[in-house]
A and B are shown apart, each in its own frame.
Chain A
């Protein structure tokens, strides 16, 4: 009986997650047995080694696809893709953090532990084929993120960002669970496959209660991916958080949330696409535009990047709207490219920032004359800014190109035009950094020393190379993305 049960569950298919939990436990024990105040080094090493273990486990299991735990989770190419991407992002953030957390006065091992646990939550999200697992994944991730945002305990902005993020996050959880309850009541299941079957059969006469459930779940996703009008938490949380965490939050959790978004709305609610279209259309337009307009008015580079990440989420919704494989693969492509350029940009911002204990900081002024002062650093920043704007030959250009061409091919010409116009607006605030760096005179009296760490430089270098390589030759990444979504629909 025992063997049968285990065999039916395909426990081996979640080997990477099992390894990850083991790593977390090991890291906690390392923290506990290390002498007080000196545990971050060992915990970091355990985490990095463990994440390599997770990657190895993921690759070992790359042909063992299918459902596990009685359909609760789905391991397919899509899961594989996001497992690799998310593990990489977490690895990079943990790798670059050691010196920075000393600067930000948060040298405690929980920083790494929470990152690892957040990764676990995200892994659950990307493989969830049941709303229960999705819920657990989202909550595991969110609870870790609340802690990470509030990590700088003595900074009022960090407290405040954490509190706002937490309150709105908890509020969202209420919507999400209530939405799941209504879906469960009308379809009789929380399994996405069952939900799809139900919606396919009763598509024409769907009860109001099911629509309410779908709407509430959409609201929850809009909160998690910071779509307008549910975006207000994100700039505050992003600004209050330690900057490495901001880099993390704007890439990995966003990728995981979009992965879950795609799976729930393409698989579970796939047959409701025509009903959801107008809603998502407006959300996409508002998200792109509002994020942009507010980013224009920011004086802090960190805040500008936070608001522009809202805009980027808007582009992703445009691709989501196509409800086709091409749109989904464009999202995957864009998420990877966005992660690379955004992490790079945040690392430059950390290096240039004047004073980490300053509540505001990250001013545009710090970039004055950087092109003459630190030409290589300025060049890296220029590449990231151009890529975020979407100017060829950078990776960001192809990210936007695939999204808008997918939109045009699916008949959303108006949306694509609005998207391109928004990219044009975003030129203003991204280029402002470049203008500051290259066209403004140095002001030597006000210059602050650059914060250097070997790990940061190496990751920055890799990001620059990747942005240019993908910008010149994007096909390989696109074909990986296409292969990953092919099993989805």
Chain B
């Protein structure tokens, strides 16, 4: 495969980018502009906002992030196995079984420790 094969992709890229750009610029120039206090609120109609949006996250989100990052990546090992399932046969199945058992013990651990409870 040479870079030339990517030419259609490149053309699409420019067409898409150009369309988005032109639309944005056009609405900016053509659209009417009326400013008022309501216009600058976060929600132009509906709720009044409370406080500032640049507040620190609750620490709970970090815990979720940590758990997600770890368990998410385990899938990396399952995709190649699933793709080659037939070829790997019983050996692959047993290996993956052991892997999953270890993971399950980990899941059990975090469940019982209360890491999955929000409050």
In-complex A–B contact (CB below 8 Å): yes
**A residues near B, CB below 8 A?**
1-2, 5-6, 21, 25, 28-29, 31-32
**B residues near A, CB below 8 A?**
89-91, 101-102, 105-106, 108-109, 112-113
Q: Are B102 and A29 in contact (CB under 8 A)?
A: no
- Determine the distance from Cα of A1 to Cα of B88 in the docked complex, in whole angstroms: 10
| Partner pick for A6 among B91, B101, B106, B112, CB 8 A cutoff | B91
Q: Are A29 and B105 in contact (CB under 8 A)?
A: yes
Q: Are A2 and B102 in contact (CB under 8 A)?
A: no
Sample of 19 more A-B contacts, CB < 8 Å, known A1-B89, A25-B102: A1-B90, A1-B91, A2-B89, A2-B90, A2-B91, A5-B91, A6-B91, A21-B102, A25-B105, A28-B105, A28-B106, A28-B108, A28-B109, A29-B105, A29-B108, A31-B109, A32-B109, A32-B112, A32-B113
Report chain B residues within 8 Å CB of A32.
108-109, 112-113
Report chain B residues within 8 Å CB of A21.
102
Shortest CB distance B84–A (Å): 14
**Which B-chain residue is minimally distant from A29 (CB atoms)?**
B105
- Determine the distance from Cα of A6 to Cα of B101 in the docked complex, in whole angstroms: 20
**Which A-chain residue is minimally distant from B89 (CB atoms)?**
A1
**Which A-chain residue is minimally distant from B101 (CB atoms)?**
A25
- Determine the distance from Cα of A28 to Cα of B109 in the docked complex, in whole angstroms: 7
- Determine the distance from Cα of A29 to Cα of B108 in the docked complex, in whole angstroms: 8
Shortest CB distance B97–A (Å): 13
Q: List 23 A-B contacts (CB under 8 A).
A: A1-B89, A1-B90, A1-B91, A2-B89, A2-B90, A2-B91, A5-B91, A6-B91, A21-B102, A25-B101, A25-B102, A25-B105, A28-B105, A28-B106, A28-B108, A28-B109, A29-B105, A29-B108, A31-B109, A32-B108, A32-B109, A32-B112, A32-B113
- Determine the distance from Cα of A195 to Cα of B90 in the docked complex, in whole angstroms: 32
Report chain A residues within 8 Å CB of B106.
28
- Determine the distance from Cα of A5 to Cα of B88 in the docked complex, in whole angstroms: 10
Report chain A residues within 8 Å CB of B102.
21, 25
Shortest CB distance A348–B (Å): 35
- Determine the distance from Cα of A455 to Cα of B50 in the docked complex, in whole angstroms: 59
- Determine the distance from Cα of A307 to Cα of B71 in the docked complex, in whole angstroms: 38
- Determine the distance from Cα of A5 to Cα of B95 in the docked complex, in whole angstroms: 12
- Determine the distance from Cα of A21 to Cα of B108 in the docked complex, in whole angstroms: 16
Report chain A residues within 8 Å CB of B90.
1-2
- Determine the distance from Cα of A183 to Cα of B106 in the docked complex, in whole angstroms: 34
- Determine the distance from Cα of A416 to Cα of B95 in the docked complex, in whole angstroms: 50
- Determine the distance from Cα of A32 to Cα of B91 in the docked complex, in whole angstroms: 31
- Determine the distance from Cα of A32 to Cα of B109 in the docked complex, in whole angstroms: 6
- Determine the distance from Cα of A29 to Cα of B89 in the docked complex, in whole angstroms: 30
